[in-house]
Structure 1
């Protein structure tokens, strides 16, 4: 993976993925966020190949500017991997409490933004796949990894509730499937990934796994992806999940 974009990279899982990529000598790492955290800023001071880009995924008009800035850096090499990580959640929302603005915010950030960002970066992903035509389909060539959640699995929903988050992640999974079909001709792999229940601001302090465990598992899993894995839904440890 010569070039990777991680959205929502100012803290938590996104920042953990950025640090992992930098430590593993990724040539260009692009990190998007609304506000730059001190930790992300200090990381950028250590690694000149880390490019921080301002992006509030709620504002669609910013997406094309991000794509243009990435193109200026990668040039003809294109972008190898897009990790749609930025997300929001509305916790413990039962039917009698759910509100329209919660549903709209979750769908905007968790579903619509990844679709539009993939659309904007498609030419760069296609370029990377073309440049690496001697490689097998996978992240070494070109890939889109959509960070989903097991709560987006319809088959495994046995608790109900969580309407905004469940619906937005189920919709993201549907988008993953469609992207995998539409981009197969360009040999761009697309998969959904559940990072596990992780100790982050979103996951909470009671989560059973830490960021490093999740991140290491995610990259071990996606590095081993082949053509047979496109259009599927995986957990960070490599196990396949039902839609």
Structure 2
């Protein structure tokens, strides 16, 4: 991958992805977006000139074009190879009798609307990368959109109920993944949803069984294997295909 953009990269999984790509020398140019830069992300950027931090609140979609212009200046004719829509929010377990309108709206905005609109804004750069690498098969080495979803967005595996804001927003993101895969197939842009596992982060909590490093390593190992037959599908970090 020549270039990768990761949203929500100031902490948790997003920051873990940045660290992995740098430590494994997996990308020539890394774009990390976040609302507020963490000290750790700033420190990494100070030591690695190929890491570009973009301050971006994904809820403020009107600023997406401005971010795209900055990215375009760096990537030039090469375009953007991989967009990882990672930024997300989650409410705690929410029973039907307690769910609030603002929770539903906030989760849908960050987890569903923002990834769709950012992908739309970055589409010219993704298409550019696909054309630039037309000798390569559909893959993350050519052009790809990876939507970080959750198994809680799987309708088929929902046997607990609850979690209305988060479940609905991730199920909707999965629906967007499927539509994107159909719309972008002619451009040879791979699109997939990815469940990172239940990971020990601020969002996942300290009781989660999986550490960030194991999840990230699995995610990128799985991404490296994805091809044309995998576009429009839903995968777990370890490569297991999940039901919608």
The normalised TM-score by structure 2 is 0.99
The normalised TM-score by structure 1 is 0.99
State the 1:213 CA deviation.
Answer: 0.2
Number of the residue aligned with 2:69? 68
Distance across 1 between alignment mates of 2:206 and 2:67: 33
Unaligned stretches of 5+ residues in structure 2:
none
Report the 3-state secondary structure (helix = DSSP H, G, I; strand = E; otherwise coil) of the residue aligned with 1:52.
strand
State the 1:189 CA deviation.
Answer: 0.1
Distance across 2 between alignment mates of 1:14 and 1:158: 29
Report 1:56-205 matches (<5 A): 56-205=57-206
Number of the residue aligned with 2:24? 24
State the 1:107 CA deviation.
Answer: 0.2
Number of the residue aligned with 1:10? 10
The answer to whether structure 1 residue 208 and structure 2 residue 209 are counterparts is yes
Q: How well do the aligned residues superpose, as a CA RMSD in angstroms?
A: 0.4
Distance across 1 between alignment mates of 2:115 and 2:72: 18
State the 1:24 CA deviation.
Answer: 2.4
Distance across 1 between alignment mates of 2:187 and 2:159: 38
Distance across 1 between alignment mates of 2:183 and 2:23: 33
Moved over 2 A (4+): none
CA deviation string 1:206-239 (max 9, x = no partner):
0000000000000000010010000000000000
Distance across 2 between alignment mates of 1:113 and 1:224: 27
Unaligned stretches of 5+ residues in structure 1:
none
Aligned length: 243
